[in-house]
Chains A and B, each alone.
Chain A
Amino acid sequence: MTVNGWLQYAVYSLVLLATVRPVGIYLEHVLEGRRTWLDPLLRPVERLIYRLCGVNADAEMSWREYAFAMLGLSAATLVFTYVIERLQANLPWNPQHLANVPTDLAWNTAASFTTNTNWQFYTPESTISYLTEMLGLATHNFWSAAVGIVVAVALVRGIKRTQSSTIGNFWVDMTRTTLYILTPACILYALLLVWQGVPQNLHAYTAAHTVEGATQTIGQGPVASQEAIKMLGTNGGGFFNANSAHPYENPTPLSNFLQILSIFIIPAGLTFMLGRMTGSPGHGWAVFAAMFVLFTAGFAVAYWAESHPYGAIHGATQTATATLPTGNYEGKEVRFGIADSTLFATITTDASCGAVNSMHDSFTPLGGMVPLANIMLGEVVFGGVGAGLYGMLIFVVLSVFIAGLMVGRTPEYLGKKIEAYDVKMSMLYALIFPLIILVFTAIFVLIPQGLTAMSNPGPHGFSEVLYSFTSGAGNNGSAFAGLGTNWWYNIAMGFDMLVGRFLMMIPVLALAGNLAQKKSVPPSPGTFPVNTTLFAVLLVGTVLILGALTFFPALSLGPILEHLLLKSGQLF
């Protein structure tokens, strides 16, 4: 570890902190239907979209209608992408003449992008045409990000409203999120990325005649436009196989800084929006603080572990010099080094982004456990756009419930009584996630089709399978990428991702609907305040305890066992 590494963390944190308020206010303006400075330009486009799609923008929806519309759109977009993948050979913008994507892979990929996971069981540069990238995949990066944000906003409305039977209009929320937030930000961001060296063209791959006389085919394409929404929407699906480690996706330390900032910028802003919309700014900051503590803890462990690799690479220089910090460089890029690689790995799994700028599979056992554990905690540390906030609010409900039990009072949350139905929905959310991860992992470490895909022997092979189903259910999309692919994984992961997305969103919307119709009760001396340090501590504790109780046995069979064996010199 170096002073510079910690300084980068500190500067990153300060810049993020500076964005929270302005971003949060803008999000509130857009999602509460207020005027923004982009109105003169975008208002006509917004009205045109409503007219073309037959949307009545003034109608409000119950939670069931809202959920139904969300599922309808997700199904339609899933089919849309599947069809494009299956037809890409006959469609334009396919200069490399890539074949149609096979059925099982097309299913996996369509499910993966619909659910904001962006798990990639393929090498994009040799599988996916430019048209499929733009129209089939980048579009999902917008839709799935917007779906996450609108579900979170629906839940916040549920908290805010009293005796209301509705939680907003799904189509209006989707349109405004896409139009006023994601698209303008992406245009600016993508141009910054091009400036740093990210390509944006529709040319066929370039044949270069190298200095030593060989031929090198250089894959390119419309990278920047996809890269921007991939990061900002916490999607994470790379234009290239190596994702944000590829020099064309992430060419400089500055582009890297923009990328990690863009992962957290909307999720962090949403905490501020939560505080404003519910009239309790302190609560927004308490949630922010709990997230920030967990982020810092993850980074500290990962950074330490990757700076102290084991005996396997002791023959190479391990003395830090002014220009070369020590550490595990297998699967890492020189321009990022250890600090930026571990910072990226922590942030991408705190959120449900899943983009990578280093290969998590080659991390040290404890270093690699951090991204895995981050996803297992539910990606509530800022989290995916929207998904992080509603995930954390589930933990908030559980925290006030636990606090209520401790003092023997009916738990209240911002004036709403938390009752059986609310706790049931929260527990449903909290239980579906580990259920699918552990059941799928158990099945795949028993069947031969699961075992042959492992690329590393010993406990690390188990970690690869555990990581993949965790990443799928968490809609993260990062991987211990050595894990091979076959029909069984394609199909199972597809379901893993869909269940992890939609079966978890429905309890959230049900909770939103139930909270919205409640009366507001004034705070009493027995009310547990949710804007205090004590609350933030309790929230961190709830997240950690629930995660540890659920996943510690699985972790001990994977990374923890590998760490202990490797430390004693055991290789596989």
Chain B
Amino acid sequence: MHSTATLEPSQTVAPKASLRSSAVHSVWKTSILFTLVTAALVGLVYPLVLTGVAHVLFPRQAAGSLILRNGQVIGSELIAQSFTADKYFHPRPSAAGNGYDATSSGGTNLALSNAKLAQRIQSDIDRLAKENPGHPVPIDLVTMSASGLDPDITPDDAYFQAPRVAKARGLSEDAVRALIAQHTEGRTLGLLGEARVNVLELNLALDDAAK
């Protein structure tokens, strides 16, 4: 077979489909019916059945991993809440709403080239450096998370805050550090993600130990 480099037009033109008015009508009818039928299936049956099954199999997670004390919801294991007292570990700074607003998640979206970001980080570093002189400030303590609701801090961050917490509670630093070690969760299967400490759980453990 001899072929040439020139492009020939298609030998047969693609078949002219007959889009008669009846065919047009039937496409509309099928489109609308298909929309309604499949919407009922994947928009109602699927999520509602799943809600039921999830509630039976994993009731705690399906309800949002809430933590109850004395019958009252005090927060969720997965959602950061504000801590400002010296006796508690502090979560990462938050850009969700006015801070830790769990109906308005989000990050700052500040660019690294934005002077506002550089100034904010620098002033936080200056403040924290006084709190624990001689130790480098962990990066996650002065950067805002993507969700504003990051429930975790890095172990380094927790150890950095340990002297302040120990002093406020009249505990030895070693006792606080032991508690941090106990609440440090390593990488999943030793591989995935990064090591982390859940702030709310650690603070609740501190309060429980004080009782």
Contacts and interface: CB of A to CB of B under 8 A. Distances in A.
A446 interface: no
Given A216-B100, A217-B102, A248-B64, A319 B75 contact: no
A208 B66 contact: yes
Contacts of B51: 200-202, 222, 225
B34 A73 contact: yes
B138 to A, nearest CB: 6
Interface stretch (A21-29, A184-192, A290-298, A543-551): A184-192
A52 B195 contact: no
B110 to A, nearest CB: 6
Interface stretch (B80-88, B162-170, B171-179): B80-88
A335 B38 contact: no
Interface size class of A (residues with CB under 8 A): 35 or more
A313 B50 contact: no
Interface string A196-221: 11111111011111111010111110
Contacts of A409: 3-5
Interface in B7-62: 7-10, 12, 14-17, 19, 23-24, 26-39, 41-44, 46-47, 50-51, 53-55, 57-58, 61-62
Contacts of B42: 138-139, 142, 178, 182-183, 229
Contacts of B41: 49, 178, 183
Contacts of A253: 187-188, 192-194
Given A186-B46, A245-B146, A570-B113, A195 B30 contact: no
B61 A194 contact: yes
Contact of B115 (A195, A318, A572): A572
A334 B191 contact: no
- Counting contact residues on chain B (CB < 8 A from A), the size range is 35 or more
A510 B187 contact: no
B111 interface: yes
B201 to A, nearest CB: 11
A571 to B, nearest CB: 4
Contacts of A53: 30, 33-34, 37
Contact of B146 (A178, A324, A358): A358
A317 B46 contact: no
Contacts of B153: 334
A176 B153 CA distance: 45
Contacts of A77: 35
Interface string A60-78: 0111110011001101110
Nearest to B115: A571
B62 A199 contact: yes
B209 interface: no
A201 B31 contact: no
Contacts of B109: 331, 359, 361-362, 455-456, 480-482
Given A310-B112, A334-B145, A517 B12 contact: yes
Interface in B92-140: 92, 96, 100-115, 117-118, 121-122, 125-126, 136-140
A510 B54 contact: no
Contacts of B100: 216
A495 to B, nearest CB: 21
B196 interface: yes
Nearest to A78: B35
Contacts of B102: 205, 216-219
A316 interface: yes
Contact of B204 (A211, A316, A460): A211
Given A337-B194, A517-B15, A331 B108 contact: yes
Contact of A334 (B12, B17, B85, B196): B196
Nearest to B47: A225
Contact of B38 (A143, A337, A524): A143
A513 B16 CA distance: 11
B110 A362 contact: yes
A200 B17 contact: no
Contact of B191 (A11, A142, A330, A458): A11
A54 B32 CA distance: 11
Residue of A142, A330, A459, A517 ringed by the most chain B CB atoms within 10 A: A330
A121 interface: no
Given A330-B108, A421-B10, A312 B192 contact: no
A222 B47 contact: yes
Interface string A536-572: 0000000000000000000000000010011000111
Contacts of B61: 194-199
Nearest to A163: B12
Nearest to B6: A410
Nearest to A329: B143
Contacts of A254: 188-189, 192
A211 B74 contact: yes
B27 A242 contact: no
Given A310-B112, A513-B14, A324 B150 contact: no
A333 interface: yes
Contact of B105 (A142, A209, A241, A325): A241
Given A336-B193, A419-B10, A517-B12, 4 more contacts: A49-B41, A253-B193, A510-B14, A571-B113
14 contacts: A49-B38, A65-B17, A174-B34, A182-B42, A183-B46, A226-B47, A245-B107, A315-B137, A316-B136, A330-B121, A362-B111, A410-B5, A455-B109, A480-B109
Complex A-B, nearest 7 residue pairs according to Cβ-Cβ distance, in ascending order: A253-B193, A482-B109, A245-B146, A317-B136, A337-B194, A64-B17, A253-B192
